[in-house]
Structure 1
Amino acid sequence: MTVPAPIGPPEVLAAPDASFRLREHPDALSPLEVCAALGIPLERTVKTLAFVTPEDGLLLAALPGHARLRYGALARAAGIRRGDLSPADAGRPARAGMQPGGVCPVSADQAAVVVFGESVSGLGRVHCGSVRPDSSIEIEAAELMAAIPTAATAPIACLPADEPA
């Protein structure tokens, strides 16, 4: 039996008013290697971290590439207890069509809960995962966020300037 390939971000973002570019690069081993390959600063990236809810739901946290995640704030935004927040193994995002190194906030899993860090909206043109480790999506942050109308926005990111000295 052949299973159809899930619709990935490039197809989802192909809305008439979305303006994005798919940028190819060597398979991602680290965000800094992707930045070096594309010639962009880490501050112009959106990283997406994948978690699993107690009901095996996919929870995606999208925040600036140079930020740290505030786990408690993510759990509150997703409506779950902090203790119920579990990092996803590679298998859970794979069921949504994402390969390791290519996790993206735009998911083929329509039930996925997506939470953007509130600072993402002000980043301008950004790069994020494309579901594959060998390419990234270049897009305006506002357009990326608009592609997921059900996404929440919350203070889930701790930026370097926010950290205590």
Structure 2
Amino acid sequence: MNDPAPIGPPEVLAALGASFRLHEHPDVASPVEVCAALGVPLERTVKTLAFVTPEDRLLLAALPGHARLRYGALARAAGVRRGDLSPADAGRLARAGMRPGGVCPVSADRAAVVVFDESVGSLGRVHCGSGRPDSSIEIEVAELIAAVPTAATAPIADLPADEPACRAVE
């Protein structure tokens, strides 16, 4: 008998009573593609990068869509060595109810370590991954963060000095 597939982020959020909207769109893999598909500003997206530790623990880093991750800062915030971070593969994401291109800071993996960049909390209403590359979640960032009660907040992102731009995807 096969184990049932883990529930995805929308189901986790619904079970918590969070208020959000699910937006369907063509498969996308980057925040720029999301903002082009949905017509939302890039600075109103939260991208989530997924890693695994040597103990196979999922580590999720949530930062503004236009920011770059500071890997050393993430490792320190998560209490691991920088060299111990490996990108999560499709199989590891599937065990958390997600697929590549749709990673979300909210997951069915209760043991996941989630670190939000300190700037995310002031973003207001945002779009983030839904667990699938063909849909995104629109949610107030306060509800998104509240859905991960064990989340840490740390300065893990480098924000660009100039205004982000959402370019149409060719």
Aligned residues: 161
Q: Which runs of 5+ in 1 are unaligned?
A: none
What whole-Å deviation, never above 9, does each CA across 1:17-42 have from its counterpart, x for those lacking one? x2110011111143222211100011
Alpha-carbon RMSD across the aligned residues, in angstroms, is: 1.3
Aligned match of 1:120: 120
Paired amino acid for 2:105: P
Q: Which moved more, 1:135-144 or 1:79-88?
A: 79-88
| TM-score (normalised: structure 2) | 0.90
Normalising by structure 1, we get a TM-score of 0.93
Q: How does 1:12-161 map to 2 (within 5 A)?
A: 12-14=12-14, 15-16=16-17, 18-161=18-161
Separation in structure 1 between the aligned mates of residue 6 and residue 89 of structure 2, nearest angstrom: 19
What amino acid is aligned across from residue 93 of structure 2 in structure 1?
P
Distance 2:117 2:10 in 1: 22
Gaps of 5+ in 2: 163-170
Cα distance, 1:2 vs structure 2 = 3.2
Post-superposition CA distance 1:95-136 (Å, at most 9, x none): 211111111110111101000001000000000000011100
4+ long deviations beyond 3 Å: none
Q: Determine helix, strand or coil for the equivalent of 1:160.
A: coil
Distance 2:151 2:80 in 1: 15
Q: Deviations over 1:58-105 (max 9, x none)?
A: 000000000000111100110001111112222211221111111111
1:144-165 Cα shifts (integer Å, max 9, x gaps): 0000000000000110029xxx
2:54 alignment partner AA: P
- Offset of residue 10 of structure 1: 1.2
Q: Could you say what secondary structure the match of 1:93 adopts?
A: helix
